[in-house]
């Protein structure tokens, strides 16, 4: 079974760079994030001790990998780069920033024909695993990534209690020092939330050397501010049409 190419991830994320945001710090989330959260029936507000920095920012990572069918299924480096795109929040002490990923609607575009589909996960509920593998391969510079060796998975009662999610995925990737908003961020931790038949949510955590020492405290601040909303999600018509066509 083959993994999905991470090229699509980077391409979709980078397309959003043309959207113009604003950089004035504030204590309320932007209309763009709120509208998207309403659309996908999720909650994403500003945690205590954080403030909103920018509505739209792209963090570009390293080069993607692509599984080449024309070369017999060999993994090769692509010329595309992978990126995270979303709203940026900063902690009051400036030792931590977090990017709330914008949701890629393409995660609902399932393809059922194995003759044309180039990835492993044909169901929307597995798409986040392809995304995670894409980031790991890009930043570690290898294609032979074993998912469980790098990703911590929290599921069951704890995932439901914290975020009303089925599973929580946490992993780290190395980055070059990043000079953002008056600080130098040297560590990067990503987190994904998933729930069956719902949009997966992604977050990128950036820490200074000092902030990294107490990274769990910053990450725990999301609890109560990020979650899958309870009740039935009224799916948009375009998703319903996609499901009927499978």
204-239: pLDDT as tens digits: 999 999 999 999 999 999 999 999 999 888 777 766
For residue 29, is pLDDT > 80? yes
Instruction: Give me 139's structure tokens.
Output: 């930043």
pLDDT tops 90 at residue 2: no
What angle (nearest 5°) sits at the alpha carbon of residue 109, between those of residues 154 and 146? 40
Planar angle of CA 99, 6, 60, nearest 5 degrees: 40
What's the pLDDT score for residue 114?
A: 43
Task: Give CA separation, 112 vs 59, 66, 115, 186, 198, in Å.
Answer: 32, 20, 9, 41, 19
- Please tell me the chain's helix, strand, coil percentages from 3-state DSSP, rounded to the nearest 5: 30, 35, 35
Say how far apart CA 18 and CA 127 lie, in whole Å.
25
Distance of alpha carbon 216 from alpha carbon 212, whole angstroms: 8
What pLDDT is attached to residue 107? Answer: 76
Question: How is residue 176 written in tokens?
Answer: 């070059």
Q: Rounded mean pLDDT of 80-104?
A: 93
Q: Structure pTM?
A: 0.81
CA dist., res. 61 & res. 107, Å (int): 20
Distance of alpha carbon 235 from alpha carbon 243, whole angstroms: 11
pLDDT, greater one: 239 or 124: 239
| Res 109: pLDDT | 66
241 by Cβ neighbours in 10 Å (0-12 / 13-18 / 19+) ranks as exposed
């Amino acid at each position: 079974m083959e993994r999905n190419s991470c090229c699509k991830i980077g391409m979709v994320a980078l397309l959003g760079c043309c959207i113009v945001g604003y950089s004035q710090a504030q204590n309320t989330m932007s209309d763009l994030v709120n509208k998207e959260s309403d659309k996908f029936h999720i909650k994403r507000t500003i945690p205590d001790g954080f403030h909103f920095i920018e509505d739209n920012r792209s963090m570009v990572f390293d080069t993607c990998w692509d599984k080449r069918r024309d070369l017999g299924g060999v993994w090769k480096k692509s010329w595309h780069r992978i990126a995270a795109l979303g709203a940026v929040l900063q902690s009051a002490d400036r030792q931590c920033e977090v990017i709330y990923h914008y949701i890629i609607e393409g995660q609902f575009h399932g393809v059922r024909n194995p003759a044309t589909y180039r990835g492993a996960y044909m169901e929307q509920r597995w798409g986040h695993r392809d995304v995670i593998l894409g980031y790991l391969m890009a930043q570690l510079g290898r294609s032979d990534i074993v998912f469980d060796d790098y990703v911590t998975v929290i599921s069951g009662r704890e995932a439901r209690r914290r975020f009303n999610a089925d599973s929580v995925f946490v992993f780290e990737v190395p980055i070059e020092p990043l000079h953002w908003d008056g600080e130098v961020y040297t560590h990067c931790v990503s987190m994904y939330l998933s729930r069956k038949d719902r949009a997966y949510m992604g977050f990128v955590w950036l820490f200074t050397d000092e902030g990294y020492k107490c990274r769990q405290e910053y990450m725990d601040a999301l609890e109560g501010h990020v979650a899958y909303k309870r009740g039935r999600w009224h799916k948009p018509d375009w998703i319903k049409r996609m499901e009927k066509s499978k």
